[in-house]
Amino acid sequence: MKSQTGFAMLFMGAIATLTIIVGVLIPPSTVKLTEEKQIIFEQNYNKVQLILLNLLSATQDNKKVYESIAENIAVKTRPPSLEFLNADLEKLAGKCYRLNTTTKILIQEGKNCKLNYFINTTIVLPYNPDKLIEEFKVGIG
Amino acid sequence: MKAVSAIGVIIVAALSVVTIEGLYLLVTLENVQTLKRSFTEAGITGEINKVEFLKRSLHQALVYSFYQSQYDIIKLSGYTEFKPDTKLFNGIPYWRTYDSWIFQENYLENLKKTNLKIFDYYLNSLKDKTDVQIPNYDLSLEPKENEIKVLATGDDKLKLEKENLKISDNSNIIEVIKTKFYEIFELAKEKFITTDSVRNIVTSADSSMANVNGKNCKVIPIGDVCEDSINAEATLATTCPNADTQFKNLVESGISSLPEVRDSVRLEIAATKEIMVKHSGDCSSSTGTQSEDCCKNGEWACNDQYNTQTGECIKCLSIDPATGECNWGSGSWSFVCTEYSKKLKDIKCYYDYSASVRLLVNVFDSSEYPVYDYNEKSTDYRDLQLTFYVLSGNDDLISY
Beta-carbon separation of A49 and B34 below 8 A = no
- Summary mean pLDDT of chain A: 84
- In this predicted structure, what is the pLDDT of residue B163? 82
Q: Give the closest-approach CA distance of B357 to chain A in angstroms.
A: 39
Q: What's the first-to-final CA gap in chain A, in angstroms? A: 66
- Nearest-angstrom CA–CA distance, B397 and B188: 24
- In this predicted structure, what is the pLDDT of residue A90? 86
Contacts 24+ apart (CB under 8 A), B186-191: B187/B262, B187/B265, B187/B267, B187/B363, B188/B95, B188/B267, B188/B361, B188/B363, B188/B386, B188/B388, B189/B103, B191/B258, B191/B267, B191/B361
Q: Give the closest-approach CA distance of B262 to chain A in angstroms.
A: 24
DSSP A38-82: HHHHHHHHHHHHHHHHHHHH-EETTEEHHHHHHHHHH-SSSPPP-
- In this predicted structure, what is the pLDDT of residue B251? 97
**Is residue B64 classed exposed, middle or buried when 0-12, 13-18 and 19+ CB atoms within 10 A define those classes?**
buried
When scoring A36, A57, A124 by the number of chain B Cβ atoms within 10 A, the one with the most, hence best to mutate, is A124
Q: Give the closest-approach CA distance of B130 to chain A in angstroms.
A: 9
- Nearest-angstrom CA–CA distance, B198 and B192: 8
- Nearest-angstrom CA–CA distance, B242 and B281: 14
Pairing type for strands B260-262 and B378-393 reads unpaired
- Of all residues in chain A, what percent carry a pLDDT higher than 90? 28
DSSP B246-261: HHHHHHHHHHHT--EE
- Nearest-angstrom CA–CA distance, A56 and A101: 15
Q: Is A113 helix (H, G, I), strand (E, B) or coil?
A: coil
Beta-carbon separation of B27 and A43 below 8 A = no
Q: Pick the residue from chain B with its C-alpha nearest to A52.
A: B53
Q: Pick the residue from chain A with its C-alpha nearest to B115.
A: A127
Question: Residue range A105-124: average pLDDT?
Answer: 89
- In this predicted structure, what is the pLDDT of residue A23? 65
Q: Is B302 helix (H, G, I), strand (E, B) or coil?
A: strand
User: Where are the strands (E) in B209-332, listed by range?
Assistant: 219-226, 260-262, 265-269, 274-284, 288-302, 305-307, 312-319, 326-330
Beta-carbon separation of A124 and B27 below 8 A = no
Q: Pick the residue from chain A with its C-alpha nearest to B369.
A: A126
At residue B84, φ and ψ (nearest 5 deg) are -60, -30
Beta-carbon separation of A53 and B52 below 8 A = yes
- CB contacts < 8 Å between A and B, how many? 147
Among A16, A24, A77, select the one facing B380 at the smallest CB separation. A77
Question: Could you read off the pLDDT tens digit of each residue along chain B, which spans 400 residues?
Answer: 566 677 877 887 788 778 777 877 887 788 778 777 777 777 788 888 889 999 999 999 999 999 999 999 999 999 999 888 889 999 999 999 999 998 888 999 999 999 999 999 999 999 999 999 999 999 999 999 999 999 999 999 999 998 888 999 999 999 999 999 999 999 999 999 999 999 999 999 999 999 998 999 999 999 888 888 889 999 999 999 999 999 999 999 999 999 999 989 999 999 888 999 999 999 987 677 888 888 889 999 999 988 888 889 999 888 888 888 888 888 999 999 998 888 888 889 999 999 999 999 999 999 999 999 999 999 999 999 999 999 999 999 999 8
Among A4, A46, A78, select the one facing B5 at the smallest CB separation. A4
Pairing type for strands B260-262 and B326-330 reads unpaired
Question: Per-residue confidence at A28, pLDDT binned at 50, 70, 90?
Answer: low
State the DSSP code for B134: P
